Amino acid sequence: MANVAPEKIKAARLAGGKRAAALREGLDRDKAYAVDEAVKVVKSRAKSKFDETIEIAMNLGVDPKHADQMVRGVCNLPNGSGRTARVAVFARGAKAEEAKAAGADVVGAEELVEQVSKGQINFDRCIATPDMMGLVGRLGKVLGPRGLMPNPRVGTVTMDVTGAVKGAKGGSVEFRVEKAGIIHAGVGKASFTETALVENIRAFIDAVARSKPAGSKGTYIKKVSLSSTMGPGIKVDTSSFTIVVPQA
């Protein structure tokens, strides 16, 4: 930034401010929109030249510092996520061949473990068969911080390699609550129809609701909002969708 003229920096900031102001125009920041209406508003404000991701943020009544209040899971979006992930599978023999046939981008056993241990990670999702976890477990310090460590709770440690790969290639999205009790996820693209987005959003909220931990007391799903990659956040009225949570 030191070599950029101050007037250019100021112009860029003004342009960004004007753009953001235009996208917020006509919005009631205090209003909570019904989910169908919220989707319509978000789509109408996705004005970028690229196909923006539609994102959901959920504020949960949990404190993830406590083990019995951790929320983690996977949701198979009925209309896909709109992106194709590169998938790696740790498997041997017939399961390795099954993974390749299902469309996995990277498949291997010891050689793949060695590659990843050196920091060579050219994939977005990671799956392993149960018999491989003795080896894959050594990669916790490499895969864990990136959110890539296979976990049976989210279906990434499984013998159903075909189903896991196809889900990871675009139809499923993993979620994990952050320190502040918030979950973020992409639930589709701005190019999706309103109906497809609403179906994905309802499926995602339902998956999070069903993942309510035993330690959560009081209101579990406190707030929900939607936005596009470059657009403003839109509050969603939680009463506009059915929330079914398991009994504690």
Please check whether residue 78 lies inside any domain of the structure.
Answer: no
96 sits in which H/E element: helix 93-102
Same domain assignment for residues 41 and 157: no
One domain for residues 67 and 187: yes
Domain final position from 169, 193, 222:
169
Q: Does residue 99 contact residue 218 with C-beta atoms inside 8 Å?
A: no
Q: Which of 128, 144, 169 corresponds to the end of one domain?
A: 169
Is the residue at 2 inside a domain? no
- pLDDT of amino acid 17: 56
Answer yes or no: is 17 within a domain.
no
Residues 114 and 165 reside in one and the same domain: yes
The interaxial angle of helices 194-210 and 35-44, nearest 10 deg, is 130
Which residue range(s) make up the domain with 35?
A: 28-71+177-240
For the chain, what is the domain count? 2
Cα dist. 35→118, 123, 212 in Å? 45, 33, 21
Any idea what DSSP says for residue 206? H
Strand partners of residue 128: 90, 157
pLDDT at position 243 is 65
pLDDT tens sequence for the chain (248 residues) = 445 566 655 555 554 555 555 555 666 778 899 999 999 999 998 888 899 999 999 999 999 889 899 998 889 899 988 888 899 999 999 999 999 999 999 999 999 999 999 999 999 999 999 999 999 999 999 999 888 999 998 889 999 999 999 888 877 888 999 989 999 999 999 999 999 999 999 999 999 999 999 888 888 999 999 999 998 899 999 888 766 655 54
Sheet containing 182-189: order of strands: 182-189, 53-60, 221-228, 234-236
Q: Do the Cβ atoms of 174 and 73 come closer than 8 Å?
A: yes
Measured CA to CA, the distance from residue 73 to residue 71 in angstroms comes to: 7
User: Can you tell me the distance from the alpha carbon of 189 to that of 26, in angstroms, rounded to the nearest whole number?
Assistant: 23
Q: Kindly state the helix (H) or strand (E) to which residue 164 belongs, with its residue range.
A: helix 161-166
**In sequence order, what are the residues at sequence separation of 6 or more whose Cβ sits closer than 8 angstroms to the Cβ of residue 40?**
194
Residues 32 and 103 in one domain: no
Task: Tell me what pLDDT residue 25 has.
Answer: 62
CATH code (residue 208): 3.30.190.20
- DSSP of 191-204: TS-HHHHHHHHHHH
Q: How many CB atoms lie within 10 A of CB 118?
A: 8
| Contact assessment for residue 43 and residue 194, using Cβ atoms and an 8 Å cutoff | yes
